[in-house]
Amino acid sequence: MQQKHQQHGHEREHVHVHAQHYEKDEGGSRLWLVGGIALLIVALVYSGVLLMHSRTKAASGSNLDLVQIPFDTGHDEKGMAVGDRNAPVVVREFADFQCPACGGFEPVIQQMRKEYVDTGKVRFVFFDMPLEEQHHNAMMAAQVARCAGYQDQYWQMHDLLYAKQAEWADSKNAVDTFLGYTDSLGLDHGKILSCIRTGSTHQAVVLSQGYGEALGLHATPTFAVNSQGHIGGATYTDLKALIDAQLAAGAKQ
């Protein structure tokens, strides 16, 4: 009897061990199932994001990664504007005169100004955003351009500063170089020098810079076509596609 009892106990133990294995296998299977479902959900969400992203690009007609920037048109006065005030599209650029990437993007902006701004389709607003820690002459360059604006030659100086960027960017005495540009543009040398010395345009540059920072912008160039923004430069083809899409939509933001 005792021997039979031990045998039954062994059978129960054997069955119990198998049951434990089954429970472990079942638990492992559940973990795999839950993990698989979680991965599937992540994959579906990611696919959805990619789909929305591709739709955004498709809608814009451009290959650029776009972000929505909540502009308040009342703050456009902090920048320097050119073009029809009633133009259906506003292109805004936040840039630094000494920034090499901004200099590389400038020919694209100039082409856009000729094709769209000069024809009344677009209003262009340029915001000063000098990155002073990296570019020690950027703040002064922005001020000089605005000083030239007092003599109605802001855009001439703006374009010249970019065209000659390599000439003054690393200069230890950029003011003399800027004054040379003043003379080449036929501006009043004395008035420009006084404007520089008194810092009369410094606050305007700081306000422009502060607006960009308030929007969360920290890189130059950053541009936007109405509210569709892009961090970095772009080809003319991509910029044109964005503008044409907004013109077709007929919405000014």
| Structural domain for 220, as ranges | 67-249
My answer on whether 45 and 157 are in the same domain is no
DSSP 124-189: EEEEE---TTT-TTHHHHHHHHHHHHTTT-HHHHHHHHHHTHHHHTT-S-HHHHHHHHHHHTT--H
219 dihedral zone (left: phi>0; alpha: psi -120 to 50; beta): beta
Tell me, what's the pLDDT at 9?
43
> Would you state the structure tokens that stand for residue 54, as one six-digit string?
């591709």
Selected residue with higher pLDDT from 97 and 60:
97
pLDDT tens-digit series, residues 115-142: 999 999 999 999 999 998 899 999 999 9
Domain boundary residue among 60, 76, 93?
Answer: 60
My answer on whether 206 and 228 are in the same domain is yes
My answer on whether 44 and 84 are in the same domain is no
* CA-based nearest residue to 142, from 63, 209, 69, 221: 209
Percent of the chain with pLDDT over 70: 75
> Would you state the structure tokens that stand for residue 247, as one six-digit string?
């013109």
My answer on whether 2 and 125 are in the same domain is no
Selected residue with higher pLDDT from 204 and 24:
204
pLDDT tens-digit series, residues 40-51: 333 333 333 333
My answer on whether 7 and 95 are in the same domain is no
My answer on whether 92 and 167 are in the same domain is yes
pLDDT at residue 235 greater than cutoff 80: yes
Tell me, what's the pLDDT at 24?
42
pLDDT tens-digit series, residues 86-109: 999 999 999 999 999 999 999 999
Selected residue with higher pLDDT from 108 and 36:
108
pTM: 0.76
Rounded CA-CA distance 138/123 in Å is 24
My answer on whether 156 and 41 are in the same domain is no
The CATH number linked to 230 is: 3.40.30.10
Q: Which pLDDT band, with edges at 50, 70 and 90, does 250 fall under?
A: confident
My answer on whether 94 and 166 are in the same domain is yes
My answer on whether 23 and 135 are in the same domain is no
Phi, psi (deg, nearest 5) at residue 57: -65, -45
Q: How many domains, the chain?
A: 2
